[in-house]
Structure 1
């Protein structure tokens, strides 16, 4: 069972070891990190930290829990609340920044009624996090109920002051003013109430939907005060009483006028109330202000209605509202809408940055600006930019040095996610310290502090940051460069500057020419010629990226400063360096050329092997006994599974089938309606009969064909065993528009071919149908593409997604094949707002372990790349990068590939497709010999100059003059055989 038993931990030597079912658990954070202590209920190979879920699991398994101090603890039965309270305390001792655990502990202690521990828990949480409106209201109401004397009331007042600082909450302000009214009887109580009301109006009086409640409460309070200063009925007031009465009436009039000038909901009722209350009627100036406020209210109503109907956190709606108010230009209204947005989107750094930037540049009110910056870093402490802006704001508004230093120390402990963030925050603090130094004095305390801070920054980056991120974040040693320049420029201490630059060069920067030139410029400005020459000679010796540039700088320096001996030495050194560099580059170029040739040979070998294998398979299929290869099979094999049907042939078939729609089940798809398969007439007889029967139907109206194309989509990649494809697809596409016809394509034996045509009555339904592309149908992605005539547009292809870089989208590889869209969304939405997720699948719908995730903006995508790249998901290492697909290479239309074993260029087909007598009988070796001579002047390969006569190639008299002049005789063939 669980008991608190102080023991000494063997790792950290602290009496903090506790027992959980006789398992030692050290709650010291550093001990947990080192030892990775495990509960007995964790997996056998668990190597992660102890989390709250593991402790909760333990208490779900073991309902009897004991809580005692010392040894020999006895198990005691507790209810569920007592069971979870020690669990929450234990988790907070392990991780004090567990927000949910703080909330749970406060709820449990409130249920138990343990006020002292509840106060401490709330106090601890308020020090670490800004509290929500609900938590503050519960806390305030509990404290108000326990108020007994004036000292307790003062504590509640202080609590209210803290509560209104976290977020702008009209409910908390209303509770505040109502509580203050209860103390109006004390000395100075009325003025205190008015002061709190004025602060409330400043904070939330412009809230368009909830601000009216504060105004009404203020008016009611003043009306009550009016009743106390009025004389009794029938008595004449004294002069003093009359002055008090007139002053109180003026206060109420002023409140009405101020409220009517502010655009608030239900303004009409307030105006009517003022009209009834005022004896002399509403002044004209107040009426004009009221009408102007009504116009502003009408402008803001669409934004308020959008907020009312949208779901939290309503970030997009608030962004639009903020942009509107910033265009209007009223700083007070801009501030209130920012505060409303941040109350519901407190963890959005970009929103805080936008708000604080506006305050820094527009309002520039010290208390308002610094308060906003402080709340920003409390809500988003991991954002370095907010801390940097906070430091600048403190300096800008004249904060004392200790305050700036304390804020900087908090920033170092904020837990940034990148090593470069620590470098940047150190640079900001060092800039602040440098601006404090008076360099006209030889020595000052501020200068010593600046030098100490520079030294500390280098140690911090080397130890703390490198230990955490495996890098210092300052590869170019920017901080050391700035320090060296300050020493040289302001302190005239070139010796210290040279020591710093020596350290910079030893950190791997000696090979970079720009680093040496920066050092040379420093010596040139504040040093002497000998050190400049020494620096340039070292640069020529060590530089590897741009040696020519360094050599030119050295030679130019010697032209100005050097003697003849110096010039000769420089020329000799630079020539030696250039010769050595040229030799190295030649060796590298030779090596790269060799690798390129080897790679080309490998590619050529694979290409030839693939072409040979394809030619063998094709020849086997052609020579197979009894093979009656159909043109649609050859079309699919030659152009891929996703190739569409020949649109011209489909339209020809459609003109025939329209009159005999009842025979749709025997359609072949490419060839139109066929004769029954059992007919055994010779091919010539069947062809002539078919030609005579269909000849009158072949001519079609062009406008009708165009109409069919525009109203039709092509659906492919469907399962061959799909039941009732026509019915399923009709139901699927019915939501896009009125479906006129669904034409599934079947083979000769009635097997569904996996593709079909869907024709709508209206062309406007086609774009809606294309949106169903990649939709799963029986576990396979269905491809929906426009209906295009492939004879007129043979290279028409539609790629749905962009192929250029999209900075707001990330590409994830290495995903487990079992990963679902929901799992990936839960993982990615931790780093920003996910707009869309696309899991890449193959044709059968199986995932390929790849995905594209689209974020709302580039910053969120970059954040996701930094946090997710290299992370683990179900024992798979994820690789995450910004989406930048490789360019899709377009095939050269003028030069079709003519590889060994590849298919002949497609020939125009008749209504029956390609007849079996169209197969070329010329040996493949002769095709290979004639290929080089077949190239035309424009780079294209000339097609065989043959004509079709009744579907037969190459009869006597069918060759063109060009072909006839290059043809081979029997003697030529005989000589070729004899040569072999």
Structure 2
């Protein structure tokens, strides 16, 4: 075998090196694969755990939707999870199910459309995407969706008729949103770019003369672009100047005068709308007030397309505001009256706000107005019944609207017809529905006066001439608790008078006299008038006897009720009197104990003083007595000066001088509770609930109230030691300052709400109440409970503002200012409040699940209040013991030794009851008691009490 050549040896060496490199690379790859297996196993474990958690959450959401398919947030969460997991088939079904129940937002539609576009790249599946786009543009008027629709259609322009289809979509888009001032320009520019692209396809190559057909195509395409420029420049849009400059540059023959005229007119309109657009730009969502002002402006301008686009823009951000939908549909019903537009808008309104009965009612009327078939109207009505209204009366009203529609379909000239039978069946069904479904759900019928049954009876009597059926219906009405009302009997009497006979009229009035309890005199008068006109003497005598008997019985019942009320009032007055006596005795006891402690101290001082005085000043005293004997009997503030003065009372020189002249200077008197007397109540306000530790409260109050008007004085109420007691009075120079001061009520002062109320003497005005709150249902206001104590007014307003216009937010607090976790939120109208209840009830706020309901304050207990405002009739145990029920203990805290009858209270100058303590056994007091004229104890009396021990 021949030896290899040098060239062959070199090739062999290269092959060996390459094989060695391959082996080394294979070993490295094996090592990397081994390490990768370990890492991938960890990643797979983590991902599998996440997948299991997500799958469990998906199953939970699906189960929740199977129970309540109308949970909007649950739909949104499910779609997000399925998209995250890449479950395209399940994602498509979830989106489809949600779109059948709710209109989808712009974001959800765009995500869905983009996913479907990626999945359906074949031309055969483009029609499905077109159908999806058609559904999307019906929910809301959104420029982004229209732009996406038009751009997607450009992809099919190569198919037969593709260019025409793209043009039709662009035309629909600019018609729908081309007037949008801020976003409409994008669509116009996209439309022109498409036409410019078409223009490039019909232009002949450079240097070649086009044929006649080519020239016609070229001219037609140029005219389309000219027309688009002219149409766009006639619409007020943002950045119009750029479009005008582009047209000047593009047009070979310049801009025509007609286009310049339209352009200037659009610029003027643009300037008018500029302030509203700027307000929308800086406002926070949902910008409801700004949209309302913008719509009102466009309504005054009167341009229907611009009004329509403004409503659509507002509803895109406020789709859950029923009042906005009501205003829009009312405008379309009364002004435009275009069938397709009107009906589609009504349908969108009830899909967005299904809980609003008035929208369903106007939808039914619009269907009838535009000649919709009976099946369509019936289907809409059935959907309305399943919408979930929040009040029982809503169901009554929607039934009335549907029954009115059915009544208008009936030809009553025929004795019987299919429509008449359908009407009667609907009346029977409505009564069953209100009795079974509505009463079980709300606990009330919603139709206590049986309005539907009354309408049915009148239709039977007037149109069908069937008084027998009408009487049966009225008998049923009276058995439902309406027999005691005079107006119900008179309504039945008028029906018999119009369509019945005199016999049944008389019978109805006789029954009315027997049963009516609210206005029996009026019913008796109607019966007597009827007999004067229609009856015989025997009928007249019977009517007189029956009415007299009934009225006598009514008067006896009223007398018994009045006597019962009087007894209850007397009983309450006695209870109040006992409370006042107990309070008076308690005050007298405190004063006596205080005087006793002070007397013991003064007696000790007197003993020391008397001993010194006897030793050192006896000669001077005798001389003084021989010269002037007045210092022995001179009165002081505490009673006497001199030998009979209480211990420790040495008069000041000025005081003694005044005493010698017989003019005792008395201190300024105040009420027993240290409340200063008010000179002018009409110019004053009462301030309370201030902190006892408030530094310089007088200066603080002057600072707070100086903006209300000139202040005459600030009077603070202090304790015996001069400490501030947390309340006082502010007196102004003028009465006009008082209303301004009352506006500062509940303003926070150093962490506590300050109470400001009118200054009224309640002894002279016992019926005066500072706080009179509504005890009826406030349908425009919601009551929220379960709030976290850290929730602020701003946070609550942020939570509620998406559901309507908020007029006021009030957090309920204790007197100390600490929150109770309760709040009231007042909306602009009932619809917004109802929407807020539906959307906010049960949501989580900082870990607390809140409860939301329409405000319905309870009736305040007035048992402890004197005067005619107290409730009458039977009282429950809760009312007897107060609004909070029986107290924790019924024991009296007054010692038994002090349980004695005090003297009748007297009157002092300021109108309050004086304290009547038992007087000491002195001659003067004995005479006063014998005469039966109790009086207040003076300082002299207390001094004598101490000196006679």
TM over 0.5: yes
C-alpha contact 1:536 1:554 (8 A) present in aligned 2: yes
Identify which range, 217-226 or 586-595, moves more after superposition: 586-595
Match of 1:901 in 2: 915
Does structure 1 residue 199 correspond to structure 2 residue 172?
yes
Match of 1:328 in 2: 301
1:558 to 528, 531, 540: 531
- What are the superposed Cα offsets for residues 504-555 of structure 1, whole Å, 9 maximum, x if unpaired? 1111112222111111111111112222222222222222222222222222
- What are the superposed Cα offsets for residues 285-337 of structure 1, whole Å, 9 maximum, x if unpaired? 22222122112212222222222222211112212222222222222111111
Match of 1:366 in 2: 339
Match of 1:592 in 2: 565
Distance of 2:236 and 2:815 partners within structure 1: 59
C-alpha contact 1:92 1:102 (8 A) present in aligned 2: yes
Match of 1:99 in 2: 72
Does structure 1 residue 684 correspond to structure 2 residue 652?
yes
C-alpha contact 1:811 1:882 (8 A) present in aligned 2: no
C-alpha contact 1:615 1:900 (8 A) present in aligned 2: no
Identify which range, 479-488 or 831-840, moves more after superposition: 831-840
Match of 1:881 in 2: 856
Distance of 1:111 and 1:621 partners within structure 2: 81
Cα pair distance change 1:282/1:923, threshold 3 Å: farther
Alignment of 1:756-767 (within 5 A): none
Match of 1:538 in 2: 511
1:420 to 373, 376, 393: 393
Does structure 1 residue 483 correspond to structure 2 residue 456?
yes
Distance of 2:415 and 2:387 partners within structure 1: 37
Distance of 1:808 and 1:152 partners within structure 2: 51
Distance of 1:804 and 1:584 partners within structure 2: 31
Distance of 1:516 and 1:746 partners within structure 2: 65
1:460 to 430, 433, 453: 433
Match of 1:188 in 2: 161
Distance of 1:445 and 1:332 partners within structure 2: 43
Distance of 1:748 and 1:800 partners within structure 2: 28
Q: Secondary structure at the match of 1:845?
A: coil
Match of 2:181 in 1: 208
Match of 1:676 in 2: none
Stretches of structure 1 that go unaligned for 5 or more consecutive residues are 1-63, 66-74, 630-679, 690-712, 737-741, 759-765, 904-920, 935-943, 947-951, 955-980
Distance of 2:781 and 2:596 partners within structure 1: 50
Distance of 1:747 and 1:778 partners within structure 2: 21
Shift of 1:489: 1.0
C-alpha contact 1:261 1:290 (8 A) present in aligned 2: yes
Distance of 2:493 and 2:81 partners within structure 1: 67
Match of 2:194 in 1: 221
Q: Secondary structure at the match of 2:330?
A: helix
Match of 2:619 in 1: none
Distance of 2:505 and 2:451 partners within structure 1: 21
Match of 1:401 in 2: 374
Cα pair distance change 1:274/1:147, threshold 3 Å: same
Distance of 2:519 and 2:249 partners within structure 1: 86
Alignment of 1:69-88 (within 5 A): 78-88=51-61
1:283 to 256, 260, 263: 256
Q: Secondary structure at the match of 2:856?
A: strand
Identify which range, 558-567 or 366-375, moves more after superposition: 558-567
Cα pair distance change 1:849/1:476, threshold 3 Å: same
Shift of 1:486: 0.8
Shift of 1:260: 1.1
Identify which range, 534-543 or 339-348, moves more after superposition: 534-543
Match of 2:475 in 1: 502
Distance of 2:167 and 2:332 partners within structure 1: 27
Alignment of 1:764-843 (within 5 A): 774=746, 779-781=751-753, 833-841=805-813, 843=815
Q: Secondary structure at the match of 1:554?
A: helix
C-alpha contact 1:833 1:860 (8 A) present in aligned 2: yes
- What are the superposed Cα offsets for residues 201-240 of structure 1, whole Å, 9 maximum, x if unpaired? 1211111100100111111111222222223322333333
Distance of 1:318 and 1:885 partners within structure 2: 41
Distance of 2:236 and 2:570 partners within structure 1: 76
Match of 1:436 in 2: 409
1:515 to 461, 477, 488: 488
Shift of 1:860: 4.5
Distance of 1:116 and 1:871 partners within structure 2: 31
Shift of 1:104: 1.8
Cα pair distance change 1:928/1:359, threshold 3 Å: farther
Stretches of structure 2 that go unaligned for 5 or more consecutive residues are 1-43, 603-647, 658-684, 708-713, 731-737, 868-906, 918-922, 942-949
Match of 2:549 in 1: 576
Shift of 1:417: 0.8
Distance of 1:275 and 1:332 partners within structure 2: 28
Distance of 1:268 and 1:606 partners within structure 2: 84
C-alpha contact 2:782 2:853 (8 A) present in aligned 1: no
C-alpha contact 1:725 1:744 (8 A) present in aligned 2: no
- TM-score by length of structure 1 reads 0.67
Cα pair distance change 1:745/1:585, threshold 3 Å: closer
C-alpha contact 1:871 1:878 (8 A) present in aligned 2: no
Distance of 1:392 and 1:417 partners within structure 2: 22
Distance of 1:88 and 1:847 partners within structure 2: 36
Shift of 1:354: 1.2
Shift of 1:561: 2.4
Cα pair distance change 1:623/1:842, threshold 3 Å: farther
Quote the RMSD (CA, aligned, Å). Answer: 5.1
Shift of 1:572: 2.3
Distance of 1:928 and 1:258 partners within structure 2: 108
Greater RCO (Cα-Cα under 8 Å, separation 6 or more) = 2
C-alpha contact 1:206 1:336 (8 A) present in aligned 2: yes
Match of 1:964 in 2: none
- What are the superposed Cα offsets for residues 948-969 of structure 1, whole Å, 9 maximum, x if unpaired? xxxx999xxxxxxxxxxxxxxx
C-alpha contact 1:840 1:850 (8 A) present in aligned 2: yes
- What are the superposed Cα offsets for residues 418-461 of structure 1, whole Å, 9 maximum, x if unpaired? 11111100000000000011111122111111111111111111
Cα pair distance change 1:132/1:926, threshold 3 Å: farther
Shift of 1:347: 1.1
Distance of 2:930 and 2:773 partners within structure 1: 37
Shift of 1:782: 5.5
C-alpha contact 1:106 1:122 (8 A) present in aligned 2: yes
Q: Secondary structure at the match of 1:273?
A: helix
Shift of 1:817: 11
Shift of 1:852: 5.1
Distance of 2:825 and 2:350 partners within structure 1: 29
Match of 1:234 in 2: 207
Distance of 1:856 and 1:262 partners within structure 2: 35
Does structure 1 residue 296 correspond to structure 2 residue 257?
no
Match of 2:817 in 1: 845
C-alpha contact 2:789 2:820 (8 A) present in aligned 1: no
Match of 1:112 in 2: 85
Match of 1:178 in 2: 151
Distance of 1:628 and 1:375 partners within structure 2: 89
Match of 2:105 in 1: 132
Q: Secondary structure at the match of 1:838?
A: strand
Q: Secondary structure at the match of 2:196?
A: helix
Shift of 1:404: 0.3
Shift of 1:808: 8.4
C-alpha contact 2:810 2:825 (8 A) present in aligned 1: yes
Cα pair distance change 1:575/1:185, threshold 3 Å: same
Counting matched residue pairs gives: 756
- TM-score by length of structure 2 reads 0.69
Cα pair distance change 1:96/1:119, threshold 3 Å: same
Distance of 2:796 and 2:600 partners within structure 1: 49
Match of 1:263 in 2: 236
Match of 1:606 in 2: 579
Cα pair distance change 1:112/1:880, threshold 3 Å: closer
